[in-house]
């Protein structure tokens, strides 16, 4: 089934952000400025933290990786979207779409940053002992592995199913939900996985929001 799908569909058409021609130029300027600020800010922060030895602390270590994820996600989406503003009809190849979908990382590293703040406030005397370099790498590695596993799993499951005759994606980049709407195969398993992973991430975020870890030490 996967081989038939690959042979019958070689490219997708992205609808973009808007269908109103008069909004193309203003939106192009807004997103170009936003993307430029993101790239310059993220790269500047990564380089500054890397070269300044005074910033070689767990907090800035996590901030550096947060900036890297922000830069990566923006680069995956924004260049293709900016091209869409100046081209009447933009197409993206089958393999480029799979790469774009599989390259999007999640911001689960914020949980590691919350744990770092918790230790700094609740255990200041033992903070430097607990937050060792090894633990920092583990706390950063887990979000990377989780995001990569989830992205690859959804990408493989979606692109091994059969697409319908239409190759138009009602979005400005290849995302899982618009692609699910284009499938002719049964998508119940993928939809359940999307709900499950969303529940895990949103549930953890709500738990941190209503009961921050800092409250445990008060």
Regarding predicted confidence, which is higher, 35 or 176? Answer: 35
Q: Provide the residue count of the chain.
A: 218
Regarding predicted confidence, which is higher, 67 or 213? Answer: 67
Residue 104 confidence (pLDDT): 76
- Domain 2-217: which topology? Rhopdopsin 7-helix transmembrane proteins (1.20.1070)
Residue 6 confidence (pLDDT): 43
The secondary structure of 146-198 as a DSSP string is HHHHHHHHHHHHHHTS-B-S--EESSSS--HHHHHTTB-S--HHHHHHHHHHH
pTM of the model: 0.79
Residue 105 confidence (pLDDT): 76
Residue 77 confidence (pLDDT): 85
| pLDDT over threshold 70, residue 35 | yes
How far, CA to CA in Å, does 70 sit from each of 38, 78, 96, 173, 189? 8, 12, 20, 16, 30
Using alpha carbons, select from 97, 96, 82 the residue that is nearest to residue 35. 82
Q: Is the dihedral of CA 19, 25, 26, 29 positive or negative?
A: positive
| pLDDT over threshold 50, residue 81 | yes
Phi, psi of 108 (to 5 degrees): -70, -15
The percent of residues in the chain predicted with pLDDT above 90, rounded, is 22
Burial (CB count within 10 angstroms: exposed 0-12, middle 13-18, buried 19+), residue 14: buried
**42-56, 69-83, 112-126, 192-206: which range is least confident on average?**
192-206
> Average pLDDT, stretch 91-96?
81
Query: Which residues partner with 89 through β-bridges?
Result: none
Say how many C-beta atoms besides its own lie within 10 A of residue 164's C-beta: 11
> Average pLDDT, stretch 208-212?
47
Regarding predicted confidence, which is higher, 203 or 128? Answer: 128
| pLDDT over threshold 80, residue 52 | yes
Regarding predicted confidence, which is higher, 16 or 9? Answer: 16
Q: Coil, strand or helix: which one is 93? A: strand
What is the distance between the alpha carbons of residues 95 and 199, in angstroms, rounded to a whole number? 29
pLDDT tens profile 137-180: 999 998 888 888 888 888 888 888 887 767 888 888 888 888 88
pLDDT tens profile 114-149: 888 888 888 888 888 889 899 999 999 988 888 888
Residue 114, CA atoms < 13 Å, CB-side half-sphere: 16
């Amino acid at each position: 089934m996967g081989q038939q799908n690959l042979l019958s569909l070689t490219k997708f058409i992205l609808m973009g952000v808007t269908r109103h021609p008069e909004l193309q130029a203003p939106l192009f300027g807004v997103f170009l400025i936003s993307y430029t600020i993101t790239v310059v800010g993220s790269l500047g922060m990564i380089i500054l933290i890397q070269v300044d030895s005074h910033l070689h602390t767990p907090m800035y270590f996590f901030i550096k990786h947060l900036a890297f994820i922000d830069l990566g996600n923006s680069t995956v989406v924004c260049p293709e979207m900016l091209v869409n503003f100046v081209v009447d009809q933009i197409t993206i190849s089958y393999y480029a779409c799979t790469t774009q979908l599989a390259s999007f990382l999640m911001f689960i590293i914020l949980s590691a940053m919350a744990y770092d703040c918790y230790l700094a406030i609740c255990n200041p005397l033992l903070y430097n002992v607990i937050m060792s370099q090894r633990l920092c790498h583990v706390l950063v590695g887990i979000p990377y592995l989780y995001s990569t596993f989830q992205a690859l799993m959804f990408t493989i499951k979606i692109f091994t199913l059969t697409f319908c005759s239409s190759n138009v994606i009602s979005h400005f980049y290849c995302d899982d939900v618009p692609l699910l709407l284009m499938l002719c195969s049964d998508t119940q398993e993928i939809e359940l996985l999307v709900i499950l992973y969303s529940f895990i991430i949103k549930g953890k975020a709500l738990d941190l929001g209503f009961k921050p870890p800092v409250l445990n030490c008060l």
